[in-house]
Amino acid sequence: MRKAIIRSLTLVLTILAVGAMHASVAVAEENTTIHRSSRSGDMEFSLPIIYTDSSTIKGSGGSSVDLNADWSPGFGIGYHINEHVLVNGLFTWSSRGYDAETVLENGSTGNYNGTLDSSTISLNGTYFILDRDITPFVSGGIGWTYLDTNIPSGPSEGYCYWDPWWGYVCTSYVPTKSDSEFSFNAGLGMRWDITQNFSLQASYNKMWIDVSEASGGMPDFNVYKMDIIFRSKP
């Protein structure tokens, strides 16, 4: 399935790349049918469809965790400073299964599985190479990622409250191992401004999360993204 997804995304990028090449050739020939971009001054709202590839994170003492590949959603809002530069904020979240290997002090190993819930808020910059409706681009950003391993970190804790519908209610929850870390991203892709108000983007991105317990460098993730974009003048 993963190979099929990557092939599909590669096909999308190829189609857009051919379109960009055609636009470049037409510009060189001063073909007036090629439209210049009208992105400058636009606000845009984006709905990304994200596929994050499987990955392995090495931990201390020889431990490790294998994260499953999965789809996830998000939303973003941005502003086009000019035809080439976009600044945007993006919020994404995901829930990915994982298999972890632990190492005891005597050297023996154990295994368990679970679900990693994460959410990321980031500030990003994008540079569009051409001032045309079809253009390649590069991007980069910095953010903050919240990670919840769903591993219990203490006994169940109870609390009670007054509810306007149910009256006096008591419930409980189990605290879990969680943390917040800096994250970074970089990417490249193609954009197509189909109309003045609607665009599509396809991109390949690399994401790094500064996990404090990771060993052997900052963990990185391969991220494939398709953005559905709605634009308007403020």
pLDDT value of residue 105: 80
Q: Between 17 and 85, where is the model more confident? A: 85
* 201 class by beta-carbon count within 10 Å (0-12 exposed, 13-18 middle, 19+ buried): buried
CA neighbor of 83 nearest in space, from 120, 119, 36, 43: 36
Mean pLDDT of 13-27: 49
Domain boundaries, the chain: 2-232
Mean pLDDT of 21-36: 50
Q: How confident is the model at residue 39 (pLDDT cuts 50, 70, 90)?
A: very high
Q: How confident is the model at residue 4 (pLDDT cuts 50, 70, 90)?
A: very low
Report which residue type is found at 189: G
Give the dihedral of Cα atoms 207, 213, 217, 223; nearest 10 deg.
Answer: -20
pLDDT in tens, 55-86: 999 988 889 999 999 999 999 999 999 999 99
Per the listing, tokens 């999308």 go with 12
Question: Lowest-pLDDT range, 2-11, 54-63, 81-90, 131-140?
Answer: 2-11
pLDDT in tens, 43-55: 999 999 999 999 9
Distance CA 40, CA 3 (A): 37
**Per-residue pLDDT for 145 more than 90?**
yes
Question: Lowest-pLDDT range, 44-58, 120-134, 202-216?
Answer: 202-216
Are 93 and 118 in contact, with CB atoms under 8 Å apart? yes
SS (H, E, C) 6-68: HHHHHHHHHHHHHHHHHHHHHHHCCCCCCCECCCCCCEEEEEEEEEECCEEEEEHHHCEEEEC
Distance CA 223, CA 203 (A): 8
pLDDT value of residue 172: 87
Give pTM, 2 decimals.
0.80
CATH of region 2-232: 2.40.160.20
Q: How confident is the model at residue 167 (pLDDT cuts 50, 70, 90)?
A: very high
pLDDT value of residue 190: 97
